Amino acid sequence: MKYEWIDEYILKMPGVTKDLQKDWNWIRYQIGGKMFAAICLDDDDKPYYITLKLEPLEGDFWRKQYEDIIPGYYMNKQHWNSVKADGEVPDDILKDLLDKAYQIVFGSFSKKKQKEILGDE
């Protein structure tokens, strides 16, 4: 996988947990129990897609910019997008997309839940 930094980068985000969804062979990244990103693994446990949540218009914009960004693999094609793990999307853009995916899910929680996630309560 081209993006060797991804696990460390995501786990530095406040309140993020990760697990392995064995049925799908996906490494899931969640906040407050809701997934915002995942690394999809093949039968040899090698990453082939990084799937993340984006606002529909933004996802559509990025899919038009990079052929390595496609509608969400095995996900809702409107809200989820998949980036080829060995693709040509620049690191800074992928980091920005991961940040946005985190903010979309984090922002969906009540202020009280956000404070819990951040450890402010």
Is residue 108 one of the residues assigned to a domain? yes
- Whole domain around residue 107: which residue ranges? 6-118
What's the CA gap between 90 and 80, in Å, rounded? 19
CATH number at residue 87: 3.90.1150.30
Give me the helices (H) in 1-121, please: 6-11, 56-65, 91-107, 111-118
Q: How far apart are CA 50 and CA 40, in angstroms?
A: 6
Within a domain: 1: no
Q: Which residues pair with 53 in a beta bridge?
A: 80
- pTM listed for this prediction: 0.94
Over its length of 121 residues, how does the chain's per-residue pLDDT go in tens digits?
A: 789 999 999 999 999 999 999 999 999 999 999 999 999 999 999 999 999 999 999 999 999 999 999 999 888 888 999 999 999 999 999 999 999 999 999 999 999 999 999 887 5
